[in-house]
Chain A
Amino acid sequence: GENVEQHPSTLSVQEGDSAVIKCTYSDSASNYFPWYKQELGKRPQLIIDIRSNVGEKKDQRIAVTLNKTAKHFSLHITETQPEDSAVYFCAARSGGADGLTFGKGTHLIIQP
């Protein structure tokens, strides 16, 4: 089955700086890669996603890039703000399945 590795487990950046979180996946048949944000004690929420036929997608301060050859994808957050502090999970969908395989999460800390 699919295996998703996520790094780093904790990331601390100064407010206003950029943050990058990286994930790798094992199943070359995976074709959909979402990112979820989970604030403390709250439910995970989808923030951005990318499909395997696209190399990059942007939505305001966040962007996701995908390298199918290397089987890795990354989340980029620019001009970080205190409300960006949360745990971020990457995930991958294998083939035609509807379930997702999640990474272990990255705790992003924005230092004032």
Chain B
Amino acid sequence: DTGVSQDPRHKITKRGQNVTFRCDPISEHNRLYWYRQTLGQGPEFLTYFQNEAQLEKSRLLSDRFSAERPKGSFSTLEIQRTEQGDSAMYLCASSSRGVTNGYTFGSGTRLTVV
């Protein structure tokens, strides 16, 4: 286990299509986070899981976005009816005891909506 894995690395989709991304955290980390990063900006918090429970959701997470972590291990982030404004890097991070222990980020999934 060498770190946080995200799949796919790149995704190009047509506007209106649904997309799903996967994140595999470090195995002993029970906390998992999704962030979105656009060019020239810092990461923006989307949502957070502790084990399988989704504990925080940002206002940025519209009804078109849904995240799951069914068994408290990997997580998926789905975007329905994609829009051009959804184009961004989607970063996953995990932590063993919360944000004050520091995040380990994955390499991200770059989404391009055309």
Contacts and interface: CB of A to CB of B under 8 A. Distances in A.
The size class of the interface chain A forms with chain B is 20 to 34
Nearest to A91: B42
A99 interface: yes
Interface in B7-52: 31, 33, 40-45, 48, 50
Interface string A1-30: 100101000000000000000000000000
A75 to B, nearest CB: 14
A101 B102 contact: no
A89 B42 contact: yes
Interface of B: 31, 33, 40-45, 48, 50, 55-56, 58-59, 91, 98-100, 102-103, 105-108
Contacts of B50: 98
Given A43-B106, A99-B99, A100-B99, 7 more contacts: A43-B108, A46-B102, A98-B55, A102-B42, A104-B42, A105-B40, A105-B41
A34 B98 CA distance: 13
Contacts, number: 59
A100 B44 CA distance: 8
Interface string A83-112: 000000101010001111111110000000
B42 A99 contact: no
A82 interface: no
Interface string A65-83: 0000000000000000000
A44 B103 CA distance: 9
B99 A98 contact: yes
